[in-house]
Structure 1
Amino acid sequence: MKITKYFCAAVIIISPVIWASPKITLTFGESSNGFARVKIKNETFEPLACYVAIDGHKVKFQLQVKSTSRWITATDQRFNYQNFSTWCDYLEVHPKYRVYQVY
């Protein structure tokens, strides 16, 4: 019975955290030169703090309501969409991102 109680408590605590992540859409493509690239679309009505990382380089930026970032392109043709790391969260939670470029 204790296991059931702990399981229910874990579900109640963890579930809202999962639902709290913002809705974004990732679009992967390839440039005319054959380099992998990505852009992020904000599907929420809140501004977001985001970054795209590849090969140790991070591009940090703000993403406004219902907007799309510019294409962020890899620096080497050996990279593909699996080498990109993306992250977005609400700007009000990460105010230090207010100094970065706005898209």
Structure 2
Amino acid sequence: MNEYKKYFESIVEQLNANDVSVLSYLYKQNATDSIHSIKTLEITDHLQISRSGCSRIINRLIACNLVKMVGNARNLGIYLTPFGCTALDIRTNGEMTI
């Protein structure tokens, strides 16, 4: 098995329910490019998680290159990368939502 594939699979295995919830919400909202990014405040409100919890989740997903961030500090938008779409597909067994 390719080393890059093994690495990606290990990243996907480490995604927890909150990570998958954020990825799933972005996917449902069609946030797959910078033009359609979703504001972090909308994510926290919809998923009913704290701002600090949401920040931790988003920072972890950014570090894994599963989401990207656009905008400035007051008005951040988040969207799925192609890696994020693939990770969500793998983690949800093709269902793309939880």
TM-score class, shorter: under 0.3
Q: If the length of structure 2 is used for normalisation, what is the TM-score?
A: 0.28
Higher strand proportion (structure 1 or 2): 1
Larger RCO (CA within 8 A; separation ≥ 6)? 2
